[in-house]
Copies of this chain bind each other. A is one copy, B any other.
């Protein structure tokens, strides 16, 4: 199964990352993952687990899975684990035995104050593993695996990039169908329903929670941002902004498209709207130009933010960009401003193989919200578009 081929590839990559980050043993410690799911499971397992389970990857190259007996065969099927131990009553003994045998100096666990994607270990399960290791020298060797996870998740393999590209292509197709369909007088809710229907027809699901995916912002009266589609209507002489992505075979896309409903006789949006659009596009391009290997997240945001502000527009109240991959906020480095809520995430360094959604927008009083969002791949020479970037506002004449 192809899912497992990608998992095996990531397991190999994980060993390399452990060597680079000097973490001897990385333990993903989970249970009942259909209830609370550590985001790392998609990377290194691709299955759910029921009882307390430890996925242990060692810098020596061993990959040991200790799982409930009913899960053991499924984990063996993946083919990426060198040892699979199925237990009946308690994980304590096999876990202690493996840790003692491997004798790691640094043990990485999945917790992070700044990176949600590296923070899948629950506090209860932290207490369980700290209890199991309590009284041994290993309990003092526990550390955050956030750097390991950030590198592993962020450095997309060729197969991962292909999957993201396919999700983007599907999203662009759906957004073009919306362009063909929309008319003045439709509510945000109607547009969202059409997008959901089209997505389902193609056998896909929304990239994030369906209530907010798509986000639809019609006309000049609403508010913009992370809210559910409502009763606001598209209008002649006003903007329509859509923020949408799909999940396709486990990978996602995240794009925004901006439309304008021309008045009779109008060939393009009024100058006020065009000026804002050019400023937004220029800011997006400035951010993309700064998105190079070695840059820090906040530097990329600052390039875009400054360009927008210098053009005379308010700064956007969110981050410029975020990783996408298995999820739409795919962890690690955020391309965001130095605000407390972003923590250390904005200090992360851009690496080759990273895939980001980059976005910003402008509120144009009297017309509504316009937003640009594209998906890009970081190469040694800079960030290249994976999506076909929207260079002009899509004008609807109906």
Contacts and interface: CB of A to CB of B under 8 A. Distances in A.
B111 A35 contact: no
Contact of A317 (B36, B69, B109): B69
A: interface residue count bin: 35 or more
Interface string A120-143: 111111111001000000000000
A176 interface: no
A340 B89 contact: yes
Interface in A216-236: 223, 225-228
Contacts of A329: 32, 34-35
A52 interface: yes
A111 B91 contact: no
Contacts of A101: none
Interface string A294-333: 0000000000000000000000011000000001110100
Given A36-B39, A48-B212, A212-B48, A116 B73 contact: no
Contacts of A318: 70
A276 to B, nearest CB: 20
Interface of A: 31-32, 34-39, 47-48, 50-52, 68-71, 73-74, 77, 87-92, 109, 111-128, 131, 144, 208-209, 211-212, 223, 225-228, 317-318, 327-329, 331, 339-341
The 7 A-B pairs of least Cβ separation, nearest first, read: A70-B226, A119-B124, A90-B340, A111-B123, A32-B116, A70-B225, A123-B126
